[in-house]
Amino acid sequence: MRKSRAKIIGEGIYSRRVCAEMSVRELADAIDRTHPVVLRIEAGDQYPRIPVLYDIARALGCSVHELLPDS
């Protein structure tokens, strides 16, 4: 079974957040969102809007491209 793009993006965000030693609440605060929103994005249950994706990338110290699947 193939993973959805939302799931792949969420996994990338989760992985980067853990590597940055950042909690869900810290990321949520950094992007001015609630922690349930971040949890839904990381689980692949919700696509992040483009501005939110940019905010997440900035908070995690990476580019948006690094959070997106290759294809």
Q: What is the pLDDT of residues 3-29, one digit of tens each?
A: 788 999 999 999 999 999 999 999 999
Band (68; pLDDT cuts 50, 70, 90):
confident
How far is it, in rounded angstroms, from Cα 68 to Cα 13? 9
Model pLDDT for residues 49-63, shown as the tens digit of each residue: 999 999 999 999 999
pTM: 0.89
How far is it, in rounded angstroms, from Cα 17 to Cα 55? 13
How far is it, in rounded angstroms, from Cα 16 to Cα 60? 7
> Alpha carbon of 65 to those of 4, 37, 44, 56, 61: distances in Å?
17, 21, 17, 12, 12
